[in-house]
Structure 1
Amino acid sequence: MTEAGLQLWNRLQAFQLDDPNAAFTFSHRLAAENGWNRTYTLRVMEEYKRFLFLCCISATPVTPSDAVDQAWHLHLVYTRSYWDDLCKNVLQRELHHGPTRGEAEAEKFDGMYTLLKDIYYDTFSEQPPADIWVTNEERFQKNRFQRINRKDYWLIKKARLSKETFLVMLVGLIIIGIFVKADDSSAFFVGIGLVFLVIVLLRTLNKQDGSNGSSGGSGCGGGCVGISADGCGSSHGHDGCGGHGDGCSSGGDGCSSGCSGGGCSGCGGGCGGD
């Protein structure tokens, strides 16, 4: 790491996203809007700082994970913190969001996400955490986000059953059916057994799906590019996300980036540095 890079990293580490005087802080809002627990939220915020650092030192376009992208988008709402404290004082450059250029470059963004993981390892000497920096397939193919009002809807998560779990459930239901047919008087006890079976299955699913606390999330992805002396930014995006897409451009160099998608509301973005 260069001396300039080390100084930038130290400034990012000292930078605080949470206002100590606020009753409802950045981290509280980020957790509430995405359905994350406290521990996971703080980890995402740290990864957001790492993403910003990679944006500034990378000579090639990179793309963040969706979780990191949510932290980035929320930070843009805190305009003074983002533009004055972060961009002006910490990064010492402007990171702008600009309009999308369309979906034609979707495959490129998959490669940019892979590249980000490689640069991450080269920079920090460790792999990015898999529960925040998810696989490329999950990042780009499994995102179908939509903003809804929870006061108007009940949200029930789709169960993801393994083959083994499905077979156990199927065999259990068959056995229950046999007992009920053979002796109707045992239906009550069979019903209790069925409830117990369902509870066990739900506990198993919760362990599989909720281990990292990242039970929620919305929006789309983002990309970031560090600008060389004669380089320009580029766009990023993914399918499965849409609504309004943003990118971002580096201040003062006339180059811009963008993101795109289709299928859900929310937004994505890219960033650049001069």
Structure 2
Amino acid sequence: MNKTLWEKALAFSFDHPNDQYGFSTRLALENHWTINFTQNAILEYKKFLFLAATNSEMVSPSEIVDIVWHQHLIFTNSYSDFCDLLGKKIEHIPSTHNRSEFDKFQTAKERTKELYEINFGTQPAEIWHYKDELDSLPLEKSKYEVSKLTKNFLTYTILLSFPVCLVLYSLLIKIRNPYFLIGYLLLFVLGILFLKFYVGRSFISLYNKIKANPILQNLTALELVFFKEEKLEVVIHGVVNNLILNHKIKVLINDRLELIDDKFVENRYENCIVEIMKGLDPMGYKELCRTAMQKPIFEQLQKAMYRIKSRIFNSKEFTRVIIVVMVVLGFLLSIGFSRFITGIWRGKPVIFLLFAMVPLVAVAFYYINQVMQLMFVNIIPSIVKENVLNKGESRRHWEWDYFLYGNLVLANSFVPIINHAPATSSGSYFSSSDVSSCGSSGGSSCGSSCGSSCGSSCGGCGGD
């Protein structure tokens, strides 16, 4: 291995300092990738081109590496400079998908794997073994759409009431009021307590199943903030707050913000805020927040998290939990509906039962909504927080402190401004309809928009 050449390739940057829509940001945004995965994909791309430059025989990229390659080809000056550094003009050879080429490309892939292991060790599975990196999550796709199930929950419950009424009819007519109503309410409470235990255990088990995945392991603190809150402005709160604490932004008497230090720092989110405010008069926070949310760097974070949530949300394991919750709640409600039906049939007073059923239906819907977001707003953040705190780092980065302690780390002068600024993004409820536009478009269709034309064997690059 030519270590000197590899060190030069490793040090080569595809981004210019302070670019708001540079190579890595654009790559992450267009494919809905996390920041860490994007950087790892770029690293693997560098390794691939290094192998192509230092070997005379054809090598072939993975789907993920090919996406990076296509993106880099668009940045013609950067691509030319990188090839010059490697000492070889590396040409992209797309596959024509001819049967006669299959063996050639298959051999190239096997050769690439051998060369990679000799020079760099084991290939990261999420980048080299999957067309879609989220396929590396050990989750099966559900054949049911959770959003449709929940929308039709009341319809299913009412339909269930008729067979339940037939089965329990003899029992329902024997129990008099108020004993039935008291017993029914207690049964409903017990059902909720059982579901709370079941859901908590099930979601913890689900997270333990996927937590070892490198993509989840390497989520940044701000990505986790959005994962929990699902409000992009909450992420921006933390970024602006740190600029205030570091005396780069000043809060004026009229609750406007003034940039007093326009020097860029290492944090690209902070630099984005500085770039927005540079050269402008003091501005209101609502305007600043709205402008920042439209910037690619923040938009990328949002889309990447939606995509991960979508994969978990639409998994068979997650759907199974929601179905159990709906079945238990549906059965409990159907008992009340059955009592209501038998009461009307027998000419009995049902007014008190009606008054009880209306709030119970509302409680059931509320609880289902809570369960649907519990995994994202409670289970995963709580486990991650515990792991971070157990590390006991004495000098943690401000982003992690913000994730751990939230508004407690906000500057006193900044808190009133946040409280006065109205929400500018969607609420915290997470539905599959929200992620279908982000998740599916950010899935294989988005991720392989430029790679799919080459298929799984975007030939690669030949030898001399």
**TM bracket, shorter-chain basis:** 0.5 to 0.7
Aligned to 1:198: 372
Aligned 1:256-271 pairs, distance under 5 A: 268=458, 270-271=460-461
2: CA distance between counterparts of 1:12 and 1:6? 10
Residues 192 and 108 (structure 1 numbering): CA distance in 2 closer, same or farther, change over 3 Å?
A: farther
Which has the greater radius of gyration? 2
Residues 99 and 176 (structure 1 numbering): CA distance in 2 closer, same or farther, change over 3 Å?
A: closer
> Which amino acid is the alignment partner of residue 48 of structure 2?
F
Pair 1:123 & 2:276 matched: no
2: CA distance between counterparts of 1:107 and 1:34? 30
Aligned to 2:332: 179
Shift of the alpha carbon at 1:60?
Answer: 4.1
2: CA distance between counterparts of 1:128 and 1:205? 31
Matched position secondary structure for 2:37:
helix
2: CA distance between counterparts of 1:97 and 1:167? 45
1: CA distance between counterparts of 2:45 and 2:25? 16
Pair 1:15 & 2:12 matched: yes
Aligned residues: 209
1: CA distance between counterparts of 2:27 and 2:92? 20
Higher helix share: 2
Residues 51 and 204 (structure 1 numbering): CA distance in 2 closer, same or farther, change over 3 Å?
A: farther
Shift of the alpha carbon at 1:99?
Answer: 5.8
2: CA distance between counterparts of 1:103 and 1:206? 46
Aligned 1:138-157 pairs, distance under 5 A: 157=310
**Residue 189 (structure 1) aligned to one of 363, 376, 382:** 363
* Structure 2 spans left out of the alignment, 5+ residues: 137-302, 338-356, 382-441
Aligned 1:1-274 pairs, distance under 5 A: 1=1, 5-20=2-17, 22-83=19-80, 85-88=81-84, 90-98=85-93, 100-104=95-99, 105-106=101-102, 109-110=105-106, 112-124=108-120, 126-135=121-130, 157=310, 159-162=313-316, 164-184=317-337, 185=357, 186-200=360-374, 217-219=447-449, 221=451, 241-242=452-453, 245=454, 268=458, 270-274=460-464
- TM-score, reference length from structure 1: 0.61
2: CA distance between counterparts of 1:21 and 1:168? 44
1: CA distance between counterparts of 2:31 and 2:323? 34
Would you say the 8 A contact 1:165–1:201 is kept in 2? no
Pairwise CA RMSD of aligned residues? 3.8
Would you say the 8 A contact 2:132–2:447 is kept in 1? no
Matched position secondary structure for 2:462:
strand
Residues 127 and 91 (structure 1 numbering): CA distance in 2 closer, same or farther, change over 3 Å?
A: same
Residues 98 and 190 (structure 1 numbering): CA distance in 2 closer, same or farther, change over 3 Å?
A: closer
Aligned to 2:352: none
- TM-score, reference length from structure 2: 0.39
> Which amino acid is the alignment partner of residue 45 of structure 1?
I
1: CA distance between counterparts of 2:86 and 2:115? 19
Aligned to 2:416: none
* Structure 1 spans left out of the alignment, 5+ residues: 143-153, 208-213, 222-240, 246-259, 262-266
Shift of the alpha carbon at 1:18?
Answer: 1.3
Would you say the 8 A contact 1:93–1:273 is kept in 2? no
Aligned to 1:250: none
Aligned to 1:257: none
Aligned to 1:237: none
Residues 119 and 206 (structure 1 numbering): CA distance in 2 closer, same or farther, change over 3 Å?
A: farther
Matched position secondary structure for 2:21:
coil
Residues 138 and 18 (structure 1 numbering): CA distance in 2 closer, same or farther, change over 3 Å?
A: closer
| Percent of aligned pairs sharing the same letter | 31
Higher strand share: 1
> Which amino acid is the alignment partner of residue 102 of structure 1?
H
CA-to-aligned-CA distance 1:126-159 (integer Å, 9 cap, x gap): 3122222234x769x99xxxxxxxxxxx998465
2: CA distance between counterparts of 1:21 and 1:197? 41
2: CA distance between counterparts of 1:138 and 1:16? 25
Residues 272 and 34 (structure 1 numbering): CA distance in 2 closer, same or farther, change over 3 Å?
A: same
Matched position secondary structure for 1:36:
coil
Shift of the alpha carbon at 1:160?
Answer: 4.1
Residues 51 and 103 (structure 1 numbering): CA distance in 2 closer, same or farther, change over 3 Å?
A: same
Would you say the 8 A contact 2:52–2:90 is kept in 1? no
